Amino acid sequence: MLDAFLELSRRCWRSRGFGDFWMHMLVAEGSAEIAADAEVSLWDLAAVSVIVEEAGGRFTDFEGRPRADGGTAISTNGVLHDEALAALARTPLG
């Protein structure tokens, strides 16, 4: 998992670390392009998927399934979603 995050971060111009909800809100407002969480709970994501998608972004788990019930989570501006998922998929989770 760490290798996947490091690879994705290496491919970015700049990376930052923020807690669960806040980083996804930065994506929704257009201040960040990608936010990824390797371990989250339902209460971390209850409103995130709706807010990100209503703002025009995409929200899924690391396998690309549109869900917000815990586990993994990634939100993007939509344009970078498939590329971010592919970067995370290159390294096995676990």
How does pLDDT run across 47-69, given as a tens digit for each residue?
Answer: 899 999 999 999 999 999 998 88
Query: Do you know the residue count of the chain?
Result: 94
Alpha carbons 39 and 83: distance in angstroms, whole number? 20
3-state secondary structure of 38: strand
Residue where the block lists tokens 């592919």: 86
Domains of the chain: which residue ranges? 2-89
In whole angstroms, what separates CA 92 from the centre of its chain?
17
Task: Assess contact for 74 and 61: CB atoms under 8 A.
Answer: yes
Predicted model pTM: 0.76
List the one residue out of 62, 91, 88 whose CA is nearest residue 8.
88
Can you list the residues of the chain whose pLDDT is less than 70?
1-2, 5, 12-19, 91-94
Q: Which CATH architecture has domain 2-89?
A: 3-Layer(aba) Sandwich (3.40)
